[in-house]
Chain A
């Protein structure tokens, strides 16, 4: 049911899920040889994002970057390091500190046919640009009767970092998810961050691309310049049978840490990285729920009004008869993120809490396998 998209000139689309990597390997010889020649070296996520931006800017002259300190400074998280030397100041535009102003500017430029990547130095700052994102970016294609499109990528780091304080630890996906007309995507690994950002840049829809402050130095392998992921497909991180754990962004690592503990105890959880926060990949989600019949959602959003709240509602409403247990949702507490290390840790979900949740929903001891 999922339509394939991003059928642009440079070829095959690859989903980053392990299950689908097998299919990739079986494809044409050209792909295999390209994969063999591709560097197997590990890079950090910021480098992967930088590669994505660089490759897309090279491929398409209408792609440009704008944001605070993206040019000469190289980006506060190095995602545009050195690009201004290669592409010039007009294509890697250092803006003054005026989120409302330069977001609107990005939208206006996108209306004429350019493809700006607008960076929010921290996603939290984009609250100042909310009007532009909601009214002029998300709704424009609709209210103009299909005349104008806004192929914008709004990207930046969000989420809870290390003692950054309340105002720099916000989860904007909660607020943006209601805006009609935008797509929300959250990357989590080096491989999917590069492939998804490339897809987002190529997409004609406005995409809000969530990175996480603590993931920029995560190491991994990135794909080559033709690897473009599907923006609406979730990633099955680990197949399992006992329970479906839905998560995204940094919480994926928290979950996987819990999973390594659970596996030792004999459990077999399935982990799905949502990737697409809006719209949800209901195909993958439903398939997982029908298999395990138990759901845990682990999110960094606050309990009130987050992505998990929406997902919980969807699952209860459309998959009620496939569930043996109500959806268990682990979210951050509805408080401003404290500065003190211990209190900050208590605000968000920890892996021990995920383990406890699995014990509660599956049983205190692992199910007996036939």
Chain B
């Protein structure tokens, strides 16, 4: 009964509600004339689908374009830096999936929480982190987002409720349920967006978290970024049921065209209202990654180049928004100007990051513990003791 009220309530006030979340990051709806776009209809599981006609305007679309293009350039820069050996180890790139994150951020606020897997570079930036700090972290410099100690897979932004950045597949899902639990415990009207992939969707701990979230009606939105490959294994080879939006069983689900930022934004706004009123909901974002799983994977041994190129030409998220803008009277020269600015911003950030400093050796023992221990910890050599330093700027 509460569900019915929530959904009809949402439909009647969807315009102003979306306007509220847009106002934070993007221009106000009143500024330019409204554009109505029909997106791919949503596939739903145990819930009524939201309307697939989305209202937007040129200013909002331009801001989407800017953010997505920034993410794209950042990831391409990371690719080049990796090949030039400035970045080492594991590096998982997000290009192709920009619409998912951009749409999510448009529908929520910075007070809502996001947690994701190791494909986390763009979340840092969308949550207010600087490109310089991201690049510096990837290069292992002390100016990095986590002081050069975390690396590509461990980027966090506590101030804006970005909980990382987790290396082990699926381990972030119970954490996300815990963050949602904390929101409910403290009585805060915020949701936790827990992002994971089609590979992680087969982890047992996901179902443990779904069960608990469902039992206690936690404000958790479980977002499966289905890019169809769990590293080298296609979804149909790993999952008996690749309909990930139905895998929550008793928990409602929505399948969204993840290459369309407007579809994502609309659906996430709907999901947020649902989650705050009722409890958990699963979302499946049908998306695609152009790179391989990580930089050590060429990405072409388990899929054809034709498939990748088809995605680029037919479903690229940035091209879609660009087409919309051009069809609504935006001058191509303006978009080119944005492109140039963003490229410059990213290139400058990379250069600045390259000039960064290696973390000093004594930082090895910094932040081992939040509270200082009186006891010493042993070093490599006998009779060598270190007293772990704690970060005095950490307040609470």
Which residues does A use to contact B, with CB under 8 Å? Answer: 1-5, 64, 90-91, 93, 95-96, 98, 100-114, 131-132, 135-136, 141-151, 180-181, 183, 203-205, 232, 276, 279-283, 314, 317-318
Cα A131 to Cα B118 in complex, Å, equals: 16
Q: Is the beta-carbon distance between B375 and A280 smaller than 8 angstroms?
A: yes
**Which of A3, A95, A147, A203 has a CB less than 8 Å from the CB of B158?**
A147
Q: Is the beta-carbon distance between B174 and A279 smaller than 8 angstroms?
A: no
B221 to chain A, nearest CB (A): 14
Residues in B351-391 with C-beta less than 8 Å from chain A = 366-378, 382-383, 390-391
Q: Is the beta-carbon distance between A98 and B156 smaller than 8 angstroms?
A: no
Contact count A vs B, C-beta below 8 Å: 183
Cα A62 to Cα B48 in complex, Å, equals: 37
Q: Is the beta-carbon distance between B177 and A104 smaller than 8 angstroms?
A: yes
Cα A203 to Cα B372 in complex, Å, equals: 10
Q: Indicate whether A104 sits within 8 Å of B168 (C-beta atoms), given known contacts A2-B375, A3-B373, A279-B376.
A: no
Interface centre among A95, A104, A145, A180 (most CB of B within 10 A): A145
B204 to chain A, nearest CB (A): 7
Q: Indicate whether A142 sits within 8 Å of B149 (C-beta atoms), given known contacts A104-B178, A108-B163, A136-B171.
A: yes
Contacts of B373 in A (CB 8 A): 3, 5, 183, 205, 232, 279
Contact string, B95-118, partner A, CB cutoff 8 A, digits 1/0?
Answer: 000000000000000000101000
Count residues of chain B with CB under 8 A from any CB of chain A. 60
Contact string, B195-237, partner A, CB cutoff 8 A, digits 1/0?
Answer: 0000000001100110110011000000000000000000000
Q: Is the beta-carbon distance between A279 and B375 smaller than 8 angstroms?
A: yes
Q: Which residue of A lies closest to B188 (CB)?
A: A112
Q: Indicate whether A95 sits within 8 Å of B212 (C-beta atoms), given known contacts A145-B367, A181-B368.
A: yes
Cα A176 to Cα B268 in complex, Å, equals: 40
Q: Indicate whether B166 reaches chain A with its CB closer than 8 angstroms.
A: yes
Ordered by A's residue number, 11 sampled pairs between the chains whose C-beta atoms are within 8 Å are A95-B212, A96-B211, A101-B174, A101-B208, A101-B211, A102-B174, A105-B175, A107-B175, A111-B178, A147-B157, A148-B164
Contacts of B186 in A (CB 8 A): 112, 114
Q: Indicate whether A232 sits within 8 Å of B163 (C-beta atoms), given known contacts A98-B211, A104-B177.
A: no
Q: Indicate whether B88 reaches chain A with its CB closer than 8 angstroms.
A: no
Cα A356 to Cα B176 in complex, Å, equals: 54
**Which of A109, A145, A314 has a CB less than 8 Å from the CB of B145?**
A145
Interface centre among B113, B185, B390 (most CB of A within 10 A): B185
Q: Is the beta-carbon distance between A101 and B205 smaller than 8 angstroms?
A: yes
Q: Indicate whether A113 sits within 8 Å of B369 (C-beta atoms), given known contacts A107-B178, A136-B175, A232-B374.
A: no
Q: Is the beta-carbon distance between A141 and B211 smaller than 8 angstroms?
A: no
Q: Indicate whether A144 sits within 8 Å of B164 (C-beta atoms), given known contacts A5-B372, A100-B204, A101-B212.
A: yes
B11 to chain A, nearest CB (A): 31
**Which of A104, A113, A135, A280 has a CB less than 8 Å from the CB of B205?**
A104
Contacts of A280 in B (CB 8 A): 375
